[in-house]
Amino acid sequence: AQSVTQLGSHVSVSEGALVLLRCNYSSSVPPYLFWYVQYPNQGLQLLLKYTSAATLVKGINGFEAEFKKSETSFHLTKPSAHMSDAAEYFCAVSDGGATNKLIFGTGTLLAVQP
């Protein structure tokens, strides 16, 4: 079975500082991996996804993530945090198979301090 673990339910950074949100996955098959962002009372917006192409994936709003198979990780980073980055972030995994279900982590709430 697939699963996702997000370390740190709350992360706080200063504006301009590095953002690092951690995600580890478990999958018996090569996974598809995703990062989503959610603002209050809204749906999910895709930041980026890994589908077995380049291991360093660049997304929207300056975010990127690196797929590391040896560490079963897919951490999300952004060099310089902006106040508008304050939101909840979800890592998700899919097997891309017949069911194609997305399995989500429990989320990380990012606070950006001025």
Partner 1 sequence: DGGITQSPKYLFRKEGQNVTLSCEQNLNHDAMYWYRQDPGQGLRLIYYSQIVNDFQKGDIAEGYSVSREKKESFPLTVTSAQKNPTAFYLCASSIGAGYTFGSGTRLTVV
Of the candidate residues 32, 35, 67, 74, the single one contacting partner 1 (CB under 8 A): 32
Nearer Cβ to partner 1 (16/39): 39
Query: Between the CA of residue 81 and those of 69, 85, 109, 111, what are the distances in Å?
Result: 27, 7, 14, 10
One residue of 28, 29, 41, 83 binding partner 1 per CB under 8 A: 41
Three-state DSSP at 79 gives coil
Given 12, 26, 55, 106, the residue binding partner 1 (CB under 8 A): 106
Helix-then-strand count for the chain, H and E:
0, 11
Q: 47 and 23 in contact (C-beta within 8 Å)?
A: no
> Which parts of 44-103 interact with partner 1 (CB under 8 A)?
44-46, 49, 51, 90, 94, 96, 98-103
The one among 7, 9, 30, 60 contacting partner 1 by CB under 8 A:
9
Q: Which residues contact 1 (CB under 8 A, 6 or more apart)?
A: 26, 28
Q: What is the contact surface with partner 1 in residues (CB under 8 A)?
A: 6, 9, 32, 34, 36, 41-46, 49, 51, 90, 94, 96, 98-107
